[in-house]
Amino acid sequence: MEEVILIKRAIEGNRQAFEELMNIYFDRLCKEAYMRCKYEEDVKEIVQETIYKAYRNISSLKEPQYFKTWLSRILINVANDYLRKKGMVDLELDEKAYIKEVVVEDRVEIKIDLYNAIDTLEDKYKDAIILRYINDLKIEDISKILDRPINTIKTHLRKALKDMKKLLKEGYLNE
């Protein structure tokens, strides 16, 4: 069944359509939640709360084509609230946390864990990077989700990529 039809039915109150949508988006929600908190139990809580809030508020969605954007916005808000309530803010950032040593054919190689590198970014940059490159959303959609101007999103993406590039170069210099 076409996604837009499922969304329209869910908006009208069809529980089965909503469940099918959640089956379609479940992995995406889990990935996005994991990118924000890194702990499996927290991911479960965040995704569960996101699904609950989406179900309770699906009738408020006016345009079915913005379902993905709307759902991402809910997840971001739930994740931010959850992390704030749990006090999960890194007070110290281990500069080497994104570097892994891997043994390959009797050689030790240093590999960069991109997910951890993304995690070192400020939240506003992290959100833009996750939505653009992990969720493959257009800049216009990211602008709507984050409620920021398109040019601000472009700036956040440029800054995040610049910071990650610097991070990657520093990682390789330590080899």
CATH architecture of 99-173: Orthogonal Bundle (1.10)
Dig out the tokens for 28 from the structure. 């995406």
pLDDT band at 115 (very low <50, low <70, confident <90, very high): low
Burial environment of residue 119 by CB neighbours within 10 A (0 to 12, 13 to 18, 19 or more): middle
> Which tops the pLDDT comparison, 22 or 38?
22
Domain with CATH 1.10.1740.10 in the chain: 3-86
CATH 3.20.20.70 for domain 3-86, yes or no, is no
> Looking at the whole model, is its pTM more than 0.85?
no
* Average of per-residue pLDDT values in the chain: 80
Domain with CATH 1.10.10.10 in the chain: 99-173
